[in-house]
A = this chain, B = another copy of it.
Amino acid sequence: MALIDRPFLSLLCIYLFLGSLVITCIKALETNPETQESDRVINLPGQPSNPSISQFSGYVTVNKEHGRALFYWFFEAQSETSKKPLLLWLNGGPGCSSIGYGAASELGPLRVSKDGAGVYFNEFAWSKEANLLFLESPVGVGFSYTNTSSDLTILDDNFVAEDAYTFLLEWLQRFPQHKSRDLFISGESYAGHYVPQLAELVYDRNKDKTKYPLINLKGFIVGNPETNDYYDYKGLLEYAWSHAVISDQLYDKAKHVCDFRVSNWSNDCNDAMNLVFEKYSEIDIYNIYAPTCLINTTSSSVGSNDSLTKANNYMIRRLRIPGGYDPCYSTYSEEYFNRADVQSSLHAKISGNSRGKWRVCNDLILYKYNFTVFSVLPIYTKLIKGGLKIWIYSGDADGRVPVIGSRYCIEALGLPLTTSWRSWFHNHQVGGRIVEYEGLTFVTVRGAGHLVPLNKPGEALSLIHSFLSGEPLPTRK
C-alpha cells in the first residue's frame, strides 16, 4: 500500500502546485494590464490560412470599481495599414453584438460559415479600406460584461456613450500606433443613436485638451439609423403601406390614432402599431423581400419589438435556402461563438463564469434599456457645423428603419442641396441613389435590407471606400 500511497501523494503535490500556479497566472492576468500582443488572435478554429489576417481581441476595462469591461475584436487593414484610417463599428439593438452582426455576418474579414463550423474569408471586408475595430457595447452585450448587475438597469444613451468614449481612450493606449490615424465611427440601426452621440462626446472633449487626450475623429457614417422617433415611425408606417405589407384600413387607422411626436403612444396607437408589427412578424422586417429563416432560433431581433422576436421563435423545419441570401446567419454566429475553443482563441471569458450563453442579441438589454433620447438631429446640426464628415446610408428594402423615415429626418435638417439626387452604379447596375447636402451625404442601397453589408456586400464596400477615400461613387454605368 505504501508503494501506492507514495506516488499518490506525489501526484497530489504536483496537482496542488500546478493548481496554485494556474491561480497565480489568472490573478496576474486579472491584475496586470493586458497588452496588445497578449490580445493577438493567433488563429480561430476553422479559419482559412489565406489571406493572412492580423487580428486582436480582448477586454478593455471601462470601470474598475464596477468591474465593467467591453469586448472588442480588431482587424488591421489588409494592406498599407499605416496609411488607412481607423474605423470603429457599432451595432444597435440596443443589445445586439458587433461581433455577431458587424464582424462575423456583415463587414468583417472573417464570416461565420454555415452551422458555425468555422469562418471563411469575406472578400468584401471593410478591412480592405480601414483598420477595423468592432466593439460589443454596452455592457451585457455579447462578451462585454459588468460585475455590478445593477449597471444593466441604468443603461441609457449617455451611459453607452461614456463607456464607449472610455473604451476608445484605453484602446488607443493599448494600440498607440493607431492614435494618429484618422478615426471614423460607423454603425447601423440603434447605433444611429450611439454613433453621433459618441462623436459628439469626442468632439466636445477634444476641445478641452488639458483634461482629455485628443482623439483624431474625422467623421461618422450610419446605416438605416434610428434618428428621430417621429420621422422614423411615420416612415415605418408609410413604408408598410406603400410596400403592400398592411391594409388600407390599418394604415388609415394608425395615421388617425397615432401621434408619433410624443414618446408615449396612446393605447389606440399601441394597438394599431402592434397590428402593423404583427403583419411584419410574418416576413423578415429587416429585409422585406427576402425569405425568413426557417431554422428554430433563440434570438433573431435587431429591432425593438417583443412580438417580433416571439413570432420568429416558431419551431419550424429547415428549408433549402435560396441562392445569394441566407436568412439564418445569426443562428450560425450563435453556434460558433458559443464554442469553448472559439472563446478561448478570442480571449473571451463567457464560459468561465455564470453569464451563460453568448447571444447575437441580448433581449434583456433591450427590455431594460432607458429610452430617453427622442431625436439625435440636434447633434447632426451641431457636428455638421463642427466640420465632421457625415454620411447616412439606407438599404431601401428595410421595413424597420425605412428609407422613407430617413429622408424625412434629413429634410428636417433643412440643409442646402449641393448635388441633386442621382443613381450610383456598381458592376454596371444601379447600386442605389446619392444626394449631397452641405455637410451631409445620403446614399441609398437598392434592394438591401437593414444589414446592408450582409445583403449587398459589393455595394457596401464601394460605399465605405467612397466615404473613407473621398473618391466619388460612380454615377455612370
Q: A residues touching B (Cβ–Cβ < 8 Å)?
A: 238-239, 242-250, 279, 282-283, 288-289, 291-292, 294, 314, 316, 319, 322-324, 394, 396-397, 403-404, 407, 411, 417, 420-421, 423, 427-430, 432-433, 435, 444, 446-447, 477
Check if A283 sits within 8 Å of B428, measured CB to CB. Answer: no
Check if A316 sits within 8 Å of B428, measured CB to CB. Answer: yes
CA distance A411 to B427 in the complex (A): 41
Check if B239 sits within 8 Å of A403, measured CB to CB. Answer: no
Instruction: Give the nearest-CB partner of A239 in chain B.
Output: B242
Check if A289 sits within 8 Å of B249, measured CB to CB. Answer: no
Min distance, Cβ A177 to any Cβ of chain B, angstroms: 41
Check if A420 sits within 8 Å of B244, measured CB to CB. Answer: no
CA distance A322 to B457 in the complex (A): 14
Check if A421 sits within 8 Å of B246, measured CB to CB. Answer: yes
- Given A238-B242, A242-B243, A282 and B427 contact (CB-CB distance below 8 Å): no
CA distance A239 to B243 in the complex (A): 9
The interface residues of chain B lying within 8 Å CB-to-CB of A403 are: 244
Check if A314 sits within 8 Å of B477, measured CB to CB. Answer: yes
- Given A282-B430, A289-B289, A242 and B244 contact (CB-CB distance below 8 Å): no
CA distance A303 to B15 in the complex (A): 81
Min distance, Cβ A232 to any Cβ of chain B, angstroms: 15
- Given A242-B238, A446-B283, A289 and B397 contact (CB-CB distance below 8 Å): yes
CA distance A279 to B404 in the complex (A): 18
Partner of A428, one of B294, B428, B446: B294
20 other contacts beyond A314-B477, A316-B477, with CB at 8 A cut-off? A239-B242, A243-B243, A244-B394, A244-B396, A244-B407, A244-B444, A244-B446, A245-B433, A246-B421, A247-B420, A247-B421, A247-B433, A247-B435, A248-B407, A248-B411, A249-B421, A283-B429, A283-B446, A289-B289, A289-B397
